[in-house]
Structure 1
Amino acid sequence: MTTTAPPSPPTGPHLRLRLAPDSPLPRRLDGVWWPRSYDLPAELPQLLAGLPRAWGHIAGVTVNGAAWSAAPDRMLVCDKVVRLRQVAARHAPGTIILLSPGHGRWDLLVVPPDTAEEDAGPLMTTALSARP
């Protein structure tokens, strides 16, 4: 009898995320995320799975409701409940806020999904080098 290993699950697309380097200085952005769509339930699991463990369990996510497609008020991600909040954020329409009780808050700039690759890379780098 011959046994073969089950086929490997297909790997998803590469997470397009850049985090700011650790610094004792305050900053406006903690990172830049370039999702592939505005479908939050589809995009969020990959983002949360790619975050540093030191950030803890992200229990709350706030996004600009005008930019993202409709989403439930909560969803299960990596076997943990994540509360989703969509607001009309005129002051920061292109950001996503991640909350982890006991660990902190992180603000990520969201690069629009339809941004060309040659524009997105420099934008991600420039956003993280800007001072508060």
Structure 2
Amino acid sequence: MTATIDRLTFSERVTSPPARLSLTPAGSAPGLLDGAWWPRSRDLSHELPALVDVLDACWGRITRVTVNPTHWSVIPRKVAVGGRKVHVGWFADEQDPHKLILLSYTAGRWDLLVIPPETGAAAAARLMAAAATPGGLATAGALMAREDTSREVQESLDREEEWETEGGHASAAAESPDPPGPVSPARGM
């Protein structure tokens, strides 16, 4: 997979809707993730400003963001946030494709699960709750794999239910085999 880096300097910020975010409670036991973010699109230039605005207020001034390019086709070098620049970088092999890392010079590092924009609301709610669990030991990739498995099982159950309700279930008469009896020889042989 190749990533395209947007080499343009940051442009005027377009007002974006509030970030869909779930964070571990302040002062809780540290875990592998500090919460989850559910962007509305795969456009980092459009999605990051709203996220950074919220997190600046919670965690201090965010100065750098890193992503894995697997799920982002264009990665801007800088994003405008409140009249300043936030640097954006990427790591293909070193960073989980489902994780976003935020850095602050004064306050440290935070790791967020990135929920794909096309995820349904129920699945996103489960993932956000799991990622924001204090002291959680699941990685971003493990949470996504667990959700994928859960979705596949549910889809299989739904298909079976649909098959049953559409007459796929054999009738009681068809379920019992023919009674044993003498086999008559074929005539005319």
- TM-score normalised by the chain length of structure 1: 0.82
Higher-Rg structure is 2
Residues 10-39 of structure 1: CA distance to partner in whole angstroms, max 9, x if unpaired? x85342101101235321111100001111
Q: Residue 103 of structure 1 is aligned with which of 89, 104, 107?
A: 107
The within-5 A match list for 1:46-65 is 46-51=50-55, 53-65=57-69
Q: Residue 21 of structure 2 is aligned with which of 17, 30, 45?
A: 17
Match of 2:40 in 1: 36
Which amino acid in the other structure matches residue 131 of structure 1? G
Q: Residue 69 of structure 1 is aligned with which of 60, 70, 73?
A: 73
Q: Secondary structure of the equivalent of 1:61? A: strand
The structure with higher relative contact order (CA 8 Å, sep 6+) is 1
Whether 1:87 and 2:91 are equivalent positions in the alignment is yes
Which amino acid in the other structure matches residue 85 of structure 2? V
Structure 2: give runs of 5+ residues left out of the alignment: 1-14, 138-189
Match of 1:122 in 2: 126
Kindly tell me: are residues 90 and 67 of structure 1, through their superposed partners in 2, closer, same or farther at Cα, counting changes over 3 Å? farther
Kindly tell me: are residues 77 and 101 of structure 1, through their superposed partners in 2, closer, same or farther at Cα, counting changes over 3 Å? same
Structure 1: give runs of 5+ residues left out of the alignment: 1-10
Q: Is the 8 A contact 2:34 2:110 kept in 1?
A: yes
CA RMSD, Structure 1 to Structure 2 (Å): 1.9
Which amino acid in the other structure matches residue 100 of structure 2? I
Give the share of equivalent positions with the same residue, in percent.
Answer: 44
